[in-house]
Amino acid sequence: MWCGRIYKKSVAVKLEKKFRKGQSTVELLLVLPVFFLLLFTIMEFGFIAHKVIVANHAAYEIARIGSLLAGPQGGSKSSASVIESGKLEDVKCQIFGSACGEVQIYPEVEVTGYDPQVGPQHVNEDFVVTLVYPVHLIFPGPNYFLSDVPRSSHIRKITVKVRMPIEKPIFQSSSF
């Protein structure tokens, strides 16, 4: 009779160990999706942060080149600023490469004031570039709740606005 107790106890211990192995598998299956969602979210934020830096740098470069091109050309006294969209598109394509067609730039010239020391003919202007960069999110899970509407497209639009003053010389001689 005593031997039967030992046998029953050993069977119970074996069954308990078997169930414990299954328990760790179930716990792993419950924790693993949450872990991967957290990991993918962190990686997606890093990916978006990189694209924001690229968009800011591109907008700055386009605004800098646009402000140089919008100023008076060849020492002319003309105060009218001209936006050369073709050259800005070329710069955009050099920066973004194959994604050039998706990125949109909206250049404009804003009057910021008049210089009272020079007179009303000298207008201070800023070249303003608004850049819209649609980023295709790549990691499963967070790409749904981090994307813009419609969420099924998994695209987040990054909008950057940069202002750069247009350099104009002060003409004091009437010999021009």
> What SS3 class is residue 116?
coil
Give how many domains the chain has, as a whole number.
1
- CA distance between the termini of the chain: 122
Q: Please check whether residue 161 lies inside any domain of the structure.
A: yes
User: What pLDDT, on a 0 to 100 scale, did the predictor assign at position 41?
Assistant: 96
Sheet architecture: strand order including 155-165: 104-114, 123-136, 155-165
Give the closest residue to 155 by CA, choosing from 147, 145, 167, 166: 147
Q: Please check whether residue 175 lies inside any domain of the structure.
A: no
Q: Are strands 155-165 and 104-114 parallel, antiparallel or unpaired?
A: unpaired
Q: Please check whether residue 144 lies inside any domain of the structure.
A: yes
Q: Please check whether residue 171 lies inside any domain of the structure.
A: no
User: In whole angstroms, what is the distance from residue 122 CA to residue 170 CA?
Assistant: 8
User: What pLDDT, on a 0 to 100 scale, did the predictor assign at position 72?
Assistant: 72
Residue 108's identity, in one-letter code, is E
User: In whole angstroms, what is the distance from residue 48 CA to residue 148 CA?
Assistant: 13
Q: Please check whether residue 88 lies inside any domain of the structure.
A: yes
Q: Please check whether residue 172 lies inside any domain of the structure.
A: no
User: In whole angstroms, what is the distance from residue 172 CA to residue 128 CA?
Assistant: 28
Domain that includes residue 54, residue range: 2-165
Q: Please check whether residue 155 lies inside any domain of the structure.
A: yes
Give the closest residue to 110 by CA, choosing from 74, 58, 67: 67
Q: pLDDT digit of tens for each residue in the chain (176 aa)?
A: 455 566 666 777 776 776 666 788 888 999 999 999 999 999 999 999 999 999 999 999 999 999 988 877 655 555 566 788 899 999 999 999 999 999 999 999 999 888 777 776 778 889 999 999 999 999 999 999 999 999 999 999 999 999 999 887 765 555 54
Looking at the chain, the number of H-run helices and the number of E-run strands are 3, 3
Q: Please check whether residue 130 lies inside any domain of the structure.
A: yes
